[in-house]
Chain A
């Protein structure tokens, strides 16, 4: 059974950093691209970033480029999102998802990030 479990969320002040993790199990992690998607409170879904299976290519939405870094450790079957220079508009539930071909087929339960002073 595919499982994705996010961790590392919490309350952080504007301008500070936070690193999210997503532990994967139930599939061969190193065979798949992975993604982060976020959802601000009572808002829609917003794709954040994708990393391909071996980490050699990454893609970001413009609003997080230069501030967020997606990475992975295939030996640990873990996906990461390093978030620097956080802003109030980054407040959201962050989901990790398996990014297979042209769709995201499995999602974690999400982790909340609140950016506030």
Chain B
């Protein structure tokens, strides 16, 4: 199984900051990497698919990059409504696997 490791597990930043969340796969996942945002008490929401494609309706301050085993989600200017847990997810091979999440907080 492909293991997905996210870092940091908790990130605290100020409104307006540029924020970077990391996700590392245990093997090459060929850019089949998605990012989900989950707010407290809500279902996950797709933000980015296939590394760098912004899902319809998602603000442009969210972007993704990466290749091989290393991937990044960037929020260019953190907003209060971005408080959530962010999960990466690989769809390169079965079984499909999620990272353990990064909890994003506002300072």
Could you say which residues of chain A place their CB within 8 Å of the CB of B38? Answer: 45
A47 near B95 with CB under 8 A, answer: yes
- Tell which of B46, B94, B99 touches A105, judged by Cβ atoms closer than 8 Å: B46
The distance in angstroms between the C-alpha atoms of A46 and B4, with both chains bound, is 12
Q: Give residues 66-94 of B contacting A (CB, 8 Å).
A: 87, 89, 91, 94
> Would you give the shortest CB distance from A105 to chain B, in whole angstroms?
5
Known: A44-B87, A44-B101, A45-B36. Is A107-B95 also a contact (CB below 8 A)?
no
Known: A95-B44, A102-B49, A110-B43. Is A44-B91 also a contact (CB below 8 A)?
no
Main secondary structure of the interface of A (DSSP, over half): strand
Known: A102-B32, A105-B46, A107-B45. Is A45-B87 also a contact (CB below 8 A)?
yes
How many residue pairs, one in A and one in B, have C-beta atoms under 8 Å apart?
52
Q: How many residues of B contact A (CB 8 A)?
A: 23
What residue in chain A is nearest B35 (Cβ atoms)?
A103
B residues sitting closer than 8 Å to A (CB atoms) are 32, 34, 36, 38, 42-46, 49-50, 55, 87, 89, 91, 94-101
- List 22 contacting pairs A-B, 8 Å CB cutoff, sorted by A: A44-B100, A44-B101, A45-B36, A45-B44, A45-B87, A45-B89, A46-B98, A47-B95, A50-B96, A60-B95, A102-B32, A102-B34, A102-B50, A103-B50, A103-B89, A104-B46, A105-B49, A106-B46, A107-B44, A107-B45, A109-B42, A110-B43
